[in-house]
Amino acid sequence: MNRWSWSDFQLYVITGENYHPGRSMLEVMEQAIIGGADIVQLRAKDTPKEELLAQAFALRELTDRYHVPLIINDHLDVAIAVQADGVHLGQEDLPLAEARRILGPAAIIGISTHSIEQAIEAEAGGADYIGVGPVFPTGTKPGRQAVTTEYVRSAAERVKIPWVAIGGITLSNVDEVIAAGAARICAVSAIVGSDNVADACRAFREKINQQQISQKEKLSIRINGREEQTTAQSVSELIELLGFAGKRMVVELNGTIIAREAWRETEIEQGASLELVHFVGGG
């Protein structure tokens, strides 16, 4: 991953110094990158500007060394000063259009969204990616209402630009978020607060990859007009998986009736349309 293919990212890690007393932000973020963080954000809400700027320069040097994109939370001036790859803005921060006017077309601008309406607005306004969250309640943004995996599900259905699920995501609940359709995960506490930051990142990456492999293996097909996902590769396998093995059936695949003898060698391909008629009763 590098800044030229930034949108393929899977694991986005944000700084959170209060989660790792005794370890520096730089050593923690280096471990995150080594473990597989493929985009990072500097977020330090209460840090004075001068110190924030120094942290941003140091993180720029680190991310340059590893060819990882750097995003600055909230502060466009800091992003410009350190030649970061972009900024992340919330609903109450500088409006997207203003940020774009200042930063230009090449900058990566991410927008926090808490509803599908906000997501559609950010997409239409030219955001490069959006944050979807907080999925779960989180101490990193106390008091902010969780959007739940319901919003993750609608983002998966409707958002066309890259989007990342964020907020209260841990190794114990990330499967739920991925199952709701998230292909990109962002975390603070579960990663930077972990004893072994690199291993935590590897574990998150493993879970994201695992899900993507099993999604890829599934074919999207239509059965009697309904969109379905299947791992079946032949008509006979599909009939078995649907629990119709041994039953009297007529199978039509893409408009052609398939004789029972041909079920085993007839492959099912992505986008196939099947009509299955099951005869009930005998006589």
Ligand X SMILES: Cc1ncsc1CCOP(=O)(O)O
Ligand Y SMILES: Cc1ncc(COP(=O)(O)OP(=O)(O)O)c(N)n1
Catalytic residue ranges: 43, 112, 141
Is 188 one of the annotated binding-site residues?
yes
Is 149 one of the annotated binding-site residues?
no
Cα(first)–Cα(last) distance of the chain, in Å? 64
Q: Which of 93, 121, 240, 252 binds ligand Y (CB under 6 A)?
A: 93
What's the min distance (Å) between Cβ of 141 and ligand Y?
A: 6
3-state secondary structure of 251: strand
Residue 126: name its binding partner from ligand X, ligand Y, Mg ion, none (Cβ under 5 to 8 Å by kind).
Answer: none
Sign of the Cα pseudo-torsion (246, 249, 255, 259, in order): positive
Is 41 one of the annotated binding-site residues?
yes
Distance from C-alpha of 122 to C-alpha of 127, rounded to nearest angstrom: 5
Residues numbered 144-183 forming contacts with ligand X, rule: CB under 6 A:
166-169
Residues numbered 43-72 forming contacts with ligand Y, rule: CB under 6 A:
43, 45
Is 210 one of the annotated binding-site residues?
no
Q: Which is nearer to ligand Y, 56 or 186 (CB)?
A: 186
* Unique residue bearing structure tokens 């359709």: 181
Q: Which of 90, 173, 215, 242 binds ligand Y (CB under 6 A)?
A: 90
Residue 201: name its binding partner from ligand Y, Mg ion, ligand X, none (Cβ under 5 to 8 Å by kind).
Answer: none
Residues numbered 67-96 forming contacts with Mg ion, rule: CB under 5 A:
74, 90, 93
Sign of the Cα pseudo-torsion (93, 97, 102, 106, in order): positive
Residue 251: name its binding partner from ligand X, Mg ion, ligand Y, none (Cβ under 5 to 8 Å by kind).
Answer: none
Binding part of the chain for ligand Y, among 23-31, 87-95, 242-250, 264-272 by CB under 6 A, reads 87-95
The tokens for 68 are: 């990882």
140 binds ligand X (CB under 6 A): yes
Select from 28, 82, 83 the least CA-distant residue to 52. 82
Is 197 one of the annotated binding-site residues?
no
Q: Which is nearer to ligand Y, 35 or 110 (CB)?
A: 110
The backbone torsions φ and ψ at residue 87, rounded to the nearest 5 degrees and listed phi first, read -130, 160
Q: Locate all alpha helices (DSSP H) within the chain, ordered by sequence.
A: 25-35, 49-66, 76-81, 96-103, 116-124, 148-158, 174-179, 189-192, 197-217, 235-241
Is 139 one of the annotated binding-site residues?
yes
The tokens for 91 are: 């609903």
Distance from C-alpha of 56 to C-alpha of 58, rounded to nearest angstrom: 5
What's the min distance (Å) between Cβ of 36 and ligand Y?
A: 17
The residue ranges that bind Mg ion (CB under 5 A) are: 74, 90, 93
Binding site for ligand X (CB under 6 A): 112, 133-134, 138, 140-141, 166-169, 187-190
